[in-house]
Amino acid sequence: MTNIPRVTLNNSVEIPQLGFGVFLMPPDETKKAVLAALQAGYRHIDTAQLYGNEAEVGAALKESGLPRDDVFITTKVWNSEQGYDSTLRAFAESMNRLDLDRLDLLLIHWPVPSLDKYVDTWKAFERLYADGLVRAIGVSNFHQPHLQRLFDETSVVPTINQIELHPHLQQAAMRAFNAEHGIATEAWSPLGRGTLIDDRLINEIAARHNKTPAQILLRWHIELGNVVIPKSKTPSRIVENTDIFDFSLTADDMAGIATLDNGTRVGPNPDPMS
Q: Residue 118 and residue 29: Cα distance in Å, rounded?
A: 32
Q: CA 70, CA 76: separation in Å to the nearest integer?
A: 20
pLDDT number for residue 271: 85
Q: What is the largest CA-CA distance in the chain?
A: 54
Long-range CB contact pairs, 177-183, < 8 A, 24+ = 177/144, 177/147, 181/147, 181/151, 181/157, 182/10, 182/157, 183/10, 183/138, 183/147, 183/157, 183/158, 183/159
Is residue 57 domain-resident? yes
Say if residues 242 and 18 touch (Cβ distance below 8 Å). yes
Residue 162 lies in a domain: yes
Q: Measured between alpha carbons, how far is 202 from 211 in angstroms, rounded to an integer?
A: 10
Does residue 263 lie in a domain region?
no
Give CA–CA dist 258/255, Å, rounded: 5
pLDDT, tens only, 126-149: 999 999 999 999 999 999 999 999
* Model pLDDT, residue 272: 72
Q: Is residue 270 in a domain? A: no
Angle between helices 251-258 and 200-209 (to 10 degrees): 170
Of the residues 42, 51, 84, 129, which is catalytic?
Answer: 51
pTM, two decimals, is 0.97
- Is the pLDDT at 183 greater than 90? The verdict is yes
What range does the domain containing 124 cover?
Answer: 6-258
Average pLDDT over residues 194-210: 97
DSSP bridge pairs for 106? 75, 137
How much of the chain, in percent, has pLDDT values that exceed 90? 97
Q: What pLDDT shows up at residue 235?
A: 95
What pLDDT, on a 0 to 100 scale, did the predictor assign at position 159? 99
Please check the confidence at residue 274 and state whether its pLDDT lies above 60. no
Measured CA to CA, the distance from residue 89 to residue 25 in angstroms comes to 24
Q: Is residue 154 part of a domain?
A: yes
- Predicted pLDDT of residue 273: 63
Query: Residue 53 domain-assigned?
Result: yes
Does the residue 96 lie in any domain?
yes
Q: What is the mean pLDDT of residues 10-31?
A: 97
**pLDDT value, residue 150:** 98
- Assess contact for 221 and 196: CB atoms under 8 A: no
Q: Count how many domains the chain has.
A: 1
Mean pLDDT for all residues in the chain: 97
Domain containing residue 197: CATH number: 3.20.20.100
Judge whether 273 lies within some domain: no
Q: Is 42 a catalytic residue?
A: no
Q: Which value, to the nearest 10 degrees, does the dihedral of the CA atoms of residues 105, 221, 21, 74 take?
A: 0
CB 94 within 8 A of CB 123: no
Query: Using an 8 Å Cβ cutoff, are 15 and 160 in contact?
Result: yes
The model's pLDDT over 58-116, given as tens digits with 9 standing for 90+, comes to 999 999 999 999 999 999 999 999 999 999 999 999 999 999 999 999 999 999 999 99
Length of the chain counted residue by residue: 274
